[in-house]
Amino acid sequence: MRFLTAGDSHGEYLVGIIEGFPAGHRISIADIRRDLQRRRQSYGRSARQKIETDSVQIVSGLWKGKTTGAPLAILIQNLGRTVSGKPGGALGTVPRPGHADLPGALKYGLREVPPVSERASARSTALRVAIGSVAKSLLEDFSIDMLGHVTSIGGIDAQKGSRSIKTLRRKVARSPVYCGDKQAADRMIEVIREAKKSGDSLGGAIEVIATGVVPGLGTHVEWDRKLDGRLAGAMMSIQSVKAVEIGEGLECSRKKGFESHDAMYLDGGHVRRDTNHAGGIEGSMTNGEDIVVTLYAKPIPTSLKRLPSFNMKTLKPTKSPFVRSDVCVLPPLAVIAEAVMAWELLVAMTEKFGCDSVDEMTANYRSYVKQLRKRGMR
């Protein structure tokens, strides 16, 4: 199973094609819309989000509302087609430090910034959310649930609270910055407001949790099939993400081995653990515990505080251009990372249980779960 995307930030459409999705799954456009709306509506976004509605269509690969095994083609129309009245924005020939502008122009022999920035733009994450939403809906049939939430913005950290997805989801839904800690969220809103006033942008961290995942997805046997490597690579590919942590990777790097690993014991014939430092992944495979991944994002590089740069045409020094921009993308990042997690887990599920049809997948899944139960799992 794989997907490809096309589309520019201010072009007509974002286009996605999913190939190899199992046949027989009913797709709900309403669910995809809900996720797109979560991505669009949060505190700290640019005025662009008032322009977009992210209306989504699936234009092929369905028969009577269900997948057929044929490629699924997804379209999202862009309504914001210009910035400052110019297609592709007012960027011209001055690259923004921290953006794809300079390396992209050099690599492709381009003389202007927009042909690079239009494609590098995080606008394309709308499509990744739509694709992830389709993946998430199939994972639900296998009792897998997931949630992304904000844990830090601009140096304000949320207190570690309940990791129960149900509890967190309720709290996050009430928070304009998708953070489960109300006190921290109020401070985050304040720092975003201050950053906006001073023309700056903010980074932070989000955590994604997936629950209900069977042990044995991914593998230890070859480097490019390792699930932690794939998850980290996919998460790193999201715009602005600069570090990815699985479980308590950072904290464990400072601890001793005895404190870092998750002891197992038997309770009435069932394997149990009281801790999850590993974040649900051991030996590059799922181990049956919740999967926990943290993403760290830099502040986005477009801001009113213009950084020193140069004009590619005249080779004269100047300041980086300002175009309409987000102040903080951490809340939408929580939704995007959730979608990315869904995609990677679904790929791993289809590798283990087959991807021609949902019926085949379900039969293989059930037989595996039966074996797991005999061995004290779940």
261 binds ligand EPS (CB under 6 A): no
230 binds ligand EPS (CB under 6 A): no
Q: Distance (Å, rounded) from C-alpha 46 to C-alpha 303?
A: 11
Site string for ligand EPS, 277-316 (x = CB under 6 A): -------------------------x--------------
Q: Helix or strand or coil: residue 285?
A: strand
- Residue 196 CB, shortest distance to ligand EPS, in Å, is 14
- Residue 372 CB, shortest distance to ligand EPS, in Å, is 40
For residue 371, how many other CB atoms are within 10 A of its CB?
A: 10
Question: How many alpha carbons lie under 13 Å from residue 253 in its C-beta half-sphere?
Answer: 5
Tokens of 317: 């020094």
Q: Which residue lies nearer to ligand EPS by CB, 41 or 362?
A: 41
Measured CA distances, 22 to 136, 141, 157 (Å): 13, 13, 40
Angle at 238 between CA 325 and CA 29, to 5 degrees: 85
69 binds ligand EPS (CB under 6 A): no
Question: How many alpha carbons lie under 13 Å from residue 336 in its C-beta half-sphere?
Answer: 28
Which of the stretches 67-75, 119-127, 159-167, 182-190 binds ligand EPS when contact is defined by CB under 6 A?
119-127
Which of the stretches 114-122, 150-158, 263-271, 351-359 binds ligand EPS when contact is defined by CB under 6 A?
114-122
83 binds ligand EPS (CB under 6 A): yes
Q: Which residue lies nearer to ligand EPS by CB, 100 or 358?
A: 100
Block residue for tokens 């629950």: 211
# of chain residues touching ligand EPS (CB under 6 A): 18
Which of the stretches 123-131, 229-237, 270-278, 309-317 binds ligand EPS when contact is defined by CB under 6 A?
123-131
Q: Report the site for ligand EPS in 29-58 (rule: CB under 6 A).
A: 46, 48, 52
Which of the stretches 57-65, 248-256, 324-332, 370-378 binds ligand EPS when contact is defined by CB under 6 A?
324-332
Site string for ligand EPS, 84-103 (x = CB under 6 A): -----x--------------
Contact (CB, 8 A) for 336 and 182: no
Q: Distance (Å, rounded) from C-alpha 98 to C-alpha 309?
A: 11
In the beta sheet, which residues pair with residue 319? 308
Q: Which residue lies nearer to ligand EPS by CB, 9 or 286?
A: 9
Which of 216, 324, 351, 357 touches ligand EPS by CB under 6 A?
Answer: 324
Measured CA distances, 361 to 23, 36, 119, 348, 357 (Å): 10, 28, 36, 12, 6
Q: Distance (Å, rounded) from C-alpha 91 to C-alpha 70?
A: 40
Q: Distance (Å, rounded) from C-alpha 233 to C-alpha 225?
A: 12
Q: Helix or strand or coil: residue 19?
A: strand
Question: Which residue, among 67, 65, 61, 63, has the nearest Cα to 16 in the 3D structure?
Answer: 61
Question: Which residues have C-beta within 8 Å of that of residue 143, sequence separation ≥ 6?
Answer: 212
Q: Which residue lies nearer to ligand EPS by CB, 38 or 123?
A: 123
Q: Which residue lies nearer to ligand EPS by CB, 89 or 249?
A: 89
Q: Which residue lies nearer to ligand EPS by CB, 81 or 225?
A: 81
- Residue 223 CB, shortest distance to ligand EPS, in Å, is 31
Which of 126, 131, 292, 339 touches ligand EPS by CB under 6 A?
Answer: 126
123 binds ligand EPS (CB under 6 A): yes
Measured CA distances, 355 to 67, 146, 348 (Å): 12, 21, 10
- Where on the chain is the footprint of ligand EPS (CB under 6 A)? 9, 46, 48, 52, 80, 83, 89, 117, 121-123, 125-126, 302, 323-326
